[in-house]
Amino acid sequence: MTARRILLAASAATLFAALAAVPALAAGDVGQLEKQPINLSAIGMFIAFVLMTLGITYWAASRTRSTSDFYTAGGGITGFQNGLAIAGDYMSAATLLGLSSLVFAKGYDGFVYTISFFVGWPIILFLLAERLRNLGHFTFADIASYRLDQGKIRTFAAIGSLTVVCFYLIVQMVGAGQLIKLLFGLDYNVAVIVVGVLMVVYVTFGGMIATTWVQIIKAVLLLGGGMVLAFLALSRFGFSLEAIAKSAIASHKDGVKIMGPGTLLADPVSAVSLSLGLLFGTAALPHIMMRFFTVPNAREARKSVFYASGFIGFFFLLVCILGMAAITIVGTDPQFFEGGKVGGKLIGGGNMPVMHLAKALGGDLFLGFLSAVAFATILAVVSGLALAGASAIAHDLYARVIRKGEATEREEMRVSKIASLVLGVLAVVLGIAFEKQNVAFLVGLTFGVAASVNFPVLILSMYWKGLTTRGALAGGIAGLISAVTLVVLSNAVWVVVLNNPAPIFPYEQPALFSMTLAFIVTIVVSKLDSSASARAEREAFEDQFVRSQTGIGAAAAAKH
């Protein structure tokens, strides 16, 4: 009952902060981009979404009694539900705004870039999903440490997961502040604080049950909004994709060139490095991997990826249609450009074509709905990230490394909730601190670190008998250090952030180099390791292989 009272108090405080901010923040400069007029319809719809999800959290709080409930919703989520939740976790505001704006600006190249975010899912489906569910319990570290040294590998895996979580949280929090400043007309700091408070409430009180349903609702709203907007856009062109393409060529300043490749990633090394980062980084994101422990068995895990791939692929196709339609509908309308100068700077910045398209086709009410959904996507993503971070701290570091498996469920739950609160405060502080910084490099760094640190250890622990603890640690550390170093030496940080005249590392994405180095170091060190512990680890692979294939001994669902 105490938890419910606290939840109600936190909910009331959050809604009061959002409502109180509406009239008080209508004037004054709030950052790098121009703040838009107060959008009452968007704020109203967002508050309705918050009330709905807080109601779900209130319901979930009474059903979150154990660590299994908190981390994995008791393993009782169906494959279809989990597929929707994974899609909700993966389809972010950056997807909707950023990728549609790329298609708007670059045409076919933007479409190719969009597909890069999708191609990691077949890897997850065919190589990882079944073994993740059969070998894991709560976290990625459960799998990596299955036959290796528990203390060392769990510590390393937790550090890798927390690194990815923190980088991604900064991107999401800064994105939340800037997005709400643009779409709602609210202050940057208020937006960041509201997101942080709601994230802590969802995770601390509702755990994975609440987080899952927040993600499902967000996915349904985003898919529904995208479908309606695509329908309205297609109706302008007689429901003909050919007509959209011809009109886009006629309207775009680059003409027929937008239908050819090479304008976005002309350098093949950067293209390959980006593709590898997105491909294998997606498969190693801790909050994505964690979702495979919420289903009752490996069959439902495979279904999860199948449904998620369908939803995500369909949404990306919608995004491409919206970007192409915006070239004509938004790109030729003076009302969407500063000073009414067609071809000049878009009002609100370069990521706003899809929002302007919503206003052009559905008016202010539909713009308000899509704005609220865009903000809701951030809430879903940061909730998943916070839960992944809390599980790494409480389950891996505290329960398994510090207490060596002797912690009670009550103790572990308490540490999880404290960790969620700390991560929420940290996310708000970092979001405010990075307000005026260019954080684009953190996206590449997030996927680069996941691909270079988590993925080599994950895939080799599942498929290669020769992996040893020393090899995993050496390769993971090499991947982490090289990924971070190369990003710091690249143009995104060395020139843009540190104001040096030229980058030392000529490419933006580190994955081609850092992931390759991680694999080489892991394999070489493992091959050279002839210790008694290494021999025992190699011999333990047979038992692991049987469990990964059959599920015998795997964690059973606590709920159905």
Confidence (pLDDT) at 540? 92
| Distance (Å, whole) CA 62 – CA 467 | 43
Q: What is the pTM of this model?
A: 0.84
At residue 116, does pLDDT exceed 80?
no
Confidence (pLDDT) at 516? 96
Confidence (pLDDT) at 32? 46
Confidence (pLDDT) at 266? 65
* DSSP secondary structure of 431-460: HHHTTTS--HHHHHHHHHHIIIIIHHHHHH
Confidence (pLDDT) at 467? 95
At residue 232, does pLDDT exceed 90?
yes
Confidence (pLDDT) at 153? 92
Look at phi and psi of residue 185 and say left if phi exceeds 0, alpha if psi is from -120 to 50, else beta. left
pLDDT range class, residue 265, cuts 50, 70, 90: low
Percent above pLDDT 70 for the chain: 90
Least confidently predicted of 180-189, 286-295, 463-472? 180-189
pLDDT in tens, 54-77: 898 889 888 888 888 888 888 889
At residue 293, does pLDDT exceed 90?
no
Ordered by start, the domain boundaries in the chain are 38-437
Mean pLDDT, range 105-133, rounded to an integer: 82
Q: Please name the amino acid found at residue 450.
A: A
pLDDT in tens, 129-156: 888 888 877 888 888 888 999 899 999 9
Mean pLDDT, range 41-50, rounded to an integer: 82
3-state SS record for 467-482: CCHHHHHHHHHHHHHH
pLDDT in tens, 294-340: 998 888 989 999 999 999 999 999 999 999 999 999 999 998 888 88
Mean pLDDT, range 267-291, rounded to an integer: 85
pLDDT range class, residue 436, cuts 50, 70, 90: confident
At residue 159, does pLDDT exceed 70?
yes
pLDDT range class, residue 419, cuts 50, 70, 90: very high
* Residues 23, 25, 28: CA angle, nearest 5 degrees: 140
Looking at per-residue pLDDT, the higher value among 222 and 21 belongs to 222
At residue 405, does pLDDT exceed 90?
no
Mean pLDDT, range 459-471, rounded to an integer: 94
Confidence (pLDDT) at 383? 87
pLDDT range class, residue 13, cuts 50, 70, 90: very low
Mean pLDDT, range 483-506, rounded to an integer: 88
At residue 504, does pLDDT exceed 90?
yes
pLDDT range class, residue 558, cuts 50, 70, 90: low
CATH superfamily placement of domain 38-437: Sodium/glucose cotransporter (1.20.1730.10)
Mean pLDDT, range 152-163, rounded to an integer: 91
Confidence (pLDDT) at 345? 86
* DSSP secondary structure of 507-550: -S--HHHHHHHHHHHHHHHHHH--SHHHHHHHHTHHHHHHHHHH
Least confidently predicted of 122-136, 228-242, 258-272, 289-303? 258-272
At residue 30, does pLDDT exceed 80?
no
Mean pLDDT, range 269-283, rounded to an integer: 85
Mean pLDDT, range 190-199, rounded to an integer: 88
Confidence (pLDDT) at 555? 61
Question: Among candidates 460, 81, 152, 100, which has minimal Cα distance to 294?
Answer: 81
Confidence (pLDDT) at 194? 87
Q: Which two tokens stand for residue 98?
A: 């950023």
Least confidently predicted of 117-126, 138-147, 315-324, 446-455? 117-126
Q: Do 293 and 138 touch, CB atoms closer than 8 A?
A: yes
Confidence (pLDDT) at 374? 82
* DSSP secondary structure of 203-242: IIIIHHHHHHHHHHHHHHHHHHHHHHHHHHHHHTTTT-HH
Mean pLDDT for all residues in the chain? 84
At residue 260, does pLDDT exceed 50?
yes
Percent above pLDDT 90 for the chain: 35
pLDDT in tens, 352-371: 899 899 999 998 888 888 88
